[in-house]
Amino acid sequence: MISHEHKCIFIHISKCAGTSIEKGLGLKNRELNYEMLYGWCPENRLYLQHATPQELLNFGYIDRETWDSYYKFVIIRNPWDRAYSDYLWSIANEGLYDSFVNFLEGVGKFKESLSKEKDHNISDHLYAQRDYFNVDGLEIVYDKIIRFENIKDGLSELANELSIPSEAFKKQENVNKKRFQHYSLFFTATRKRIVNKIYAKDIEYLNYSFEDKRGILDAIKARFLFLFHPNGGKYFLLKYPKLGRMLVSFKRLFK
């Protein structure tokens, strides 16, 4: 997203508080907006707000002079936390119920929505964060990199540097409902391993580690996600229809 009013470019990595930032910078609605670089572009088949810097330049959305002269900032997030949040977002917004592993690999029920061939696809949700740090083979020197974990202080500093009222970024947008207070409580060994593999470059480059707050009971909850996820019952019914119907009947006895 670009704001000519504030002479800044916000590089929006999916599930990194981007919607809140866009609203704070003056985006009025969620329609296609070439001036601010937001929305689905049918010509190049991508969401402008999630385009990588290389895509923005290659497709001519931003000229080099503007890119070099405007204030540039990005928000990054712990890869395990981001993957969990993105999975929940995809279930809630795409109405698809399948495994976390299938989501990250773009297969199963998620295959169509994550395919670049589909209109309004969400394939950019699987982009590595590392992809947003290079242009023409050179590392981008951002004016500000905000860690999602310290977003309150980071946005306060950002508002000050852009001469924007501090309250502009206070309203949270597009926040998922989570059943686990900490991302690690969602992870099994298999889920953790696949994030380690797919986002290995992010983990190393951004210097993140897996903060483990799981106990024995938490591991059981994570393995039987269908009992603790708001959409879990529907997913379970699709994957195990007979057992799912038995579970639903069992739960009704205790209503």
pTM of model > 0.95 = no
Residue 87 sits in a domain of what CATH number?
3.40.50
- Please give the tally of structural domains in the chain: 1
93: enclosing H helix or E strand: helix 79-94
Rounded to an integer, the average pLDDT of 164-169 is 86
Q: Does residue 55 lie within any of the structural domains?
A: yes
Q: Does residue 186 lie within any of the structural domains?
A: yes
Q: Does residue 177 lie within any of the structural domains?
A: yes
46: enclosing H helix or E strand: strand 46-47
Q: Does residue 235 lie within any of the structural domains?
A: no
Q: Does residue 234 lie within any of the structural domains?
A: no
Q: Is the pLDDT of residue 251 over 80?
A: no
Sequence-distant contacts of 63-66: CB under 8 A, at least 24 apart: 66/2, 66/9
Instruction: Categorize the per-residue pLDDT at 169 as very low, low, confident or very high, splitting at 50, 70 and 90.
Output: confident
Q: Does residue 246 lie within any of the structural domains?
A: no
Rounded to an integer, the average pLDDT of 127-152 is 96
Contact 38, 151 (CB under 8 A): no
Residue-number span of the structural domain to which 97 is assigned: 2-223
Q: Does residue 242 lie within any of the structural domains?
A: no
Q: Is the pLDDT of residue 27 over 60?
A: yes
Angle separating helix axes 241-252 and 232-239, nearest 10 degrees = 140
| More reliable by pLDDT, 191 or 181 | 191
Q: Is the pLDDT of residue 230 over 80?
A: no
Instruction: Categorize the per-residue pLDDT at 168 as very low, low, confident or very high, splitting at 50, 70 and 90.
Output: confident
If phi > 0 it is left, if psi is from -120 to 50 it is alpha, else beta; for residue 60 that is: left
Give the count of alpha carbons within 13 A of 47, CB side only.
20
Q: Is the pLDDT of residue 221 over 60?
A: yes
Q: Does residue 241 lie within any of the structural domains?
A: no
pLDDT at site 226: 47
pLDDT at site 254: 42
